[in-house]
Structure 1
């Protein structure tokens, strides 16, 4: 049966001028109490302003006991990998091994390009920076002496603390194009897209597994995840209006454009159950859910749907 995750509404809170963290921590606690398996936080500096994910997750670790904690998704290319390695190792120690590092390369849109420029990072080099930066972080997580001569230079560097789990937390990478799927299978511990339909998911997941197998890795050790957005409302027209308004405000783009890029559901609870089940049947074993509006009610609704589905 699939595991269910909940994305905290950090971006949504900032959009309405609510910068406080107490409501977010309360939602994390509520998700755990309702039986969700994981709690997630998104990442952006200036393009889509929100709370820093690693800092906020450190607070969530102190308010929860069993849920996994993840980034959906972190942009490693914006960060120095030596600093990031220390931050992640410390967070994994706080979480006692509950951390999942969801990562991505960032979408090519003007405000994200501007975000990279503001951080002093070349946008066009983001894929190479992600791959090399994570490789360097993993080397440092070993706790052994590291010498590195690449985009970054490390001379006999030893990181402490090491993560709770030997080798560091699992790394799941987003992306739905063929190169991203190959990268996920070849290098990382999970595939975490937001674009494929349930009908397309199975075939694309098989490509990830084939890439893992070709790299001499065990495909069964990888996690197939999916990032999904829902507006659950028995009034279908109201649900459609809710999700369209949400997407336009969140991204500053036409909702019909965004709904082609990210899989969304708007409608009654019964349809939501069928939609989620279709992804699980296609091979997605961890579904991370983002709600458009009214998170408390929708958390309760999905918890009920999960019981009805026998998950």
Structure 2
């Protein structure tokens, strides 16, 4: 059984909150993560609600500074973007990265400042799911390199995209969320599941249902990646770790940390506990982790380097 892959989320949001808008330190963290053996580098997405660097522009720079790691979004909000432009940008970015991209996507949390963000971008909030799903279908059609005719929210007349992505058909698309429709949607149409909220037990239950949906659709469940976005504050002093995680969550989201910790999968405590926590997710079906650290990134990178080798991943479903 292969060990799970371990990814690292760059602190784009945190650095902007600190007034440190320069990109050099972020690129240095990406290079350091690759040198330490991490398998992937990730960036978040927001326009105005949680200001940070543009994910596609930053990933282009990371692609030029790295050679091995996969690169992805955790997660991009496709509904905020015209899909023809998005398809062009991602095809070019996939060429820069030579096929190392993963497109993690979501529909956004329902909170006031994110609703405001959609309004500022001219996107109807109540239509964001339909825009995302149709937009991704249009992206995939354009990534084929064949002429595309499309008559929906967007109109395309014999449109041909160039360049095409490095990989035929474009980068894999991983979908966030745990709602019931997501199970069927991922099982039938997408390449990975990428939630940030379920416990290991909840993850295992949903993962089994998703694999069953894939089989019903005539797909190989082993072709779908079980991923997870998890937040950690690692410290041998558990009280100090929990205080750090609470400060991080309160600052990042502007809400009570206990409220956020109920919605998102988080760990605070010693390294041995973190290893056991991640192993429980691996046993539940996670084969690719994206780790967000609650500050102190250099230390966390060192502490968690190589942790995937000690986690038993489940065999792919057949």
* Short-chain TM bin: over 0.9
Q: List gaps (5 residues or longer) in structure 2.
A: 314-318
Corresponding residue for residue 9 of structure 2: 7
Corresponding residue for residue 155 of structure 1: 157
1:62-116 residue CA offsets vs partner (Å, 9 max, x unmatched): 1100000000000000000000000000000000000000000101110000000
**TM-score for the superposition, normalised by structure 1:** 0.98
1:125 aligns to what SS in structure 2? helix
Corresponding residue for residue 108 of structure 1: 110
Where do 1:72-83 residues align within 5 Å? 72-83=74-85
- The alignment status of 1:169 with 2:171, answered yes or no, reads yes
Corresponding residue for residue 121 of structure 1: 123
Corresponding residue for residue 234 of structure 1: 236
Distance 1:305 1:140, change over 3 A: closer
Q: Is 1:228–1:289's contact at 8 Å kept on the other side of the alignment?
A: yes
C-alpha separation between the residues in 1 aligned to 2:186 and 2:132?
Answer: 12
C-alpha separation between the residues in 2 aligned to 1:204 and 1:158?
Answer: 38
Corresponding residue for residue 299 of structure 1: 301
2:305 aligns to what SS in structure 1? helix
Q: Is 1:224–1:284's contact at 8 Å kept on the other side of the alignment?
A: yes
C-alpha separation between the residues in 2 aligned to 1:275 and 1:139?
Answer: 40
2:103 aligns to what SS in structure 1? strand
The count of aligned residue pairs is 311
1:186-220 residue CA offsets vs partner (Å, 9 max, x unmatched): 21100000111012211110111112222222211
Corresponding residue for residue 272 of structure 2: 270
Corresponding residue for residue 284 of structure 2: 282
1:274-306 residue CA offsets vs partner (Å, 9 max, x unmatched): 001111111100010000010000010001544
Q: Is 1:69–1:98's contact at 8 Å kept on the other side of the alignment?
A: yes
The one of the two structures with greater contact order (alpha-carbon pairs below 8 A, sep at least 6) is 2
C-alpha separation between the residues in 1 aligned to 2:295 and 2:163?
Answer: 39
Q: Is 1:82–1:137's contact at 8 Å kept on the other side of the alignment?
A: yes
Corresponding residue for residue 26 of structure 2: 24
1:172 aligns to what SS in structure 2? strand
C-alpha separation between the residues in 2 aligned to 1:178 and 1:306?
Answer: 29
Q: List gaps (5 residues or longer) in structure 1.
A: none
Corresponding residue for residue 137 of structure 2: 135
